[in-house]
């Protein structure tokens, strides 16, 4: 049996992984809505809506981090709010642009730092749905999201939960394609899973209070259709 080759963090390799994430999402972009709403049953944008609804106020400014095709932004835009979306994939952004009336869409790698592209205290709501599992240092990203909030603003985000001893053998940090056979090289970028108490500690360190939270099955992974556990949190 040949051992799997995992990427570890030299800067060149990190750059290559970024390229893979970008290319993977570019390729996925025109199938994303059909696949997520069909076979994968991606539930996170629906969950987000359930949790964020009480905080949607007229005139609120929203930032959608890892906006994808805009499934999460849609609820805000349909209510007439101003939404800015950020994504590493140009083609995901093109799909979002074709569907919805965004204030602005920015092609950007979130790990380069959100404070490089936005001023502090700008947004009433900052969301990150289905993206933090691709971000290595979520404390940094959550800290930046917090700094972008106006006083009294809220953050809503999801993360993929690490389940030790899960029966599918999914590791805490592993390439997206791990566990499946004949995986294309394009799926060789890392997914970072977290334990709830790790996320709780980050939130405590950042003085972010938890308003609401729920664990849910985010989607059904691969041909095996095994359930992937997520948590959604609303914090302020």
Max distance between CA atoms of the chain, in angstroms, equals 59
> Is the Cβ of residue 87 or residue 124 nearer to ligand SAM in the bound state?
87
Dihedral of the alpha carbons of 116, 157, 212, 46, in degrees to the nearest 10: 140
Q: Binding residue for ligand SAM (CB under 6 A) from 17, 81, 92, 199? A: 92
Q: Binding residue for ligand SAM (CB under 6 A) from 37, 41, 99, 111? A: 111
How many CA atoms lie within 13 Å of 14's alpha carbon, on the beta-carbon side? 10
> Is the Cβ of residue 164 or residue 177 nearer to ligand SAM in the bound state?
177
Nearest to 70 by CA among 36, 40, 41: 36
Q: Binding residue for ligand SAM (CB under 6 A) from 17, 63, 71, 230? A: 71
Stretch of 9-17, 50-58, 62-70, 149-157 lying at the interface with ligand SAM (CB under 6 A): 62-70
Q: Binding residue for ligand SAM (CB under 6 A) from 17, 45, 132, 190? A: 45
* Residue 131 binds ligand SAM, judged by CB under 6 A: yes
* Residue 72 binds ligand SAM, judged by CB under 6 A: yes
Enumerate residues 134-193 that contact ligand SAM by CB under 6 A: 134-135
* Residue 21 binds ligand SAM, judged by CB under 6 A: yes
DSSP state of 71: T
Contact 215, 154 (CB under 8 A): no
Q: How many other C-beta atoms are found inside a 10 Å radius of the C-beta of residue 35?
A: 13
In order, the DSSP letters of 119-151 are: -SS-EEEEEE-S-GGG-S-HHHHHHHHHHHEEE
* Residue 66 binds ligand SAM, judged by CB under 6 A: yes
Stretch of 55-63, 125-133, 165-173, 177-185 lying at the interface with ligand SAM (CB under 6 A): 125-133
Dihedrals phi, psi of 6, to nearest 5 degrees? -105, 145
Residue with nearest beta carbon to ligand SAM: 68
* Residue 129 binds ligand SAM, judged by CB under 6 A: yes
- Cα–Cα distance between 8 and 112 in angstroms, integer? 19
Residues that bind ligand SAM (CB under 6 A): 21, 25, 44-45, 66-68, 71-72, 86-89, 92, 109-111, 129-131, 134-135
């Amino acid at each position: 049996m040949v051992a799997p080759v995992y990427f570890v963090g030299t800067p060149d390799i990190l750059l290559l992984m970024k390229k893979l994430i970008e290319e993977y999402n570019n390729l996925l972009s025109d199938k994303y809505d059909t696949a997520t709403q069909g076979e994968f049953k991606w539930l996170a944008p629906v969950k987000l809506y359930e949790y964020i609804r009480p905080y949607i106020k007229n005139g609120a400014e929203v930032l959608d981090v890892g906006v994808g095709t805009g499934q999460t932004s849609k609820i805000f835009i349909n209510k007439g709010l101003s939404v800015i979306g950020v994504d590493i994939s140009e083609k995901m952004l093109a799909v979002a642009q074709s569907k919805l009336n965004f204030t602005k869409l920015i092609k950007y790698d979130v790990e380069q730092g959100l404070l490089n592209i936005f001023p502090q205290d700008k947004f009433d709501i900052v969301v990150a749905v289905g993206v933090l599992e691709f971000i290595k240092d979520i404390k940094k990203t959550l800290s930046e999201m917090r700094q972008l909030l106006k006083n009294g603003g809220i953050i809503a985000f999801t993360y993929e939960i690490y389940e030790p001893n899960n029966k599918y053998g999914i590791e805490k940090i592993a390439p997206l394609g791990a566990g499946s056979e004949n995986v294309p090289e394009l799926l060789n970028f890392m997914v970072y899973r977290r334990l709830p108490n790790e996320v709780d500690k980050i939130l405590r360190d950042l003085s972010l209070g938890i308003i609401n939270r729920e664990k849910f099955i985010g989607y059904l992974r691969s041909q095996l259709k095994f359930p992937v556990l997520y948590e959604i949190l609303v914090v302020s």
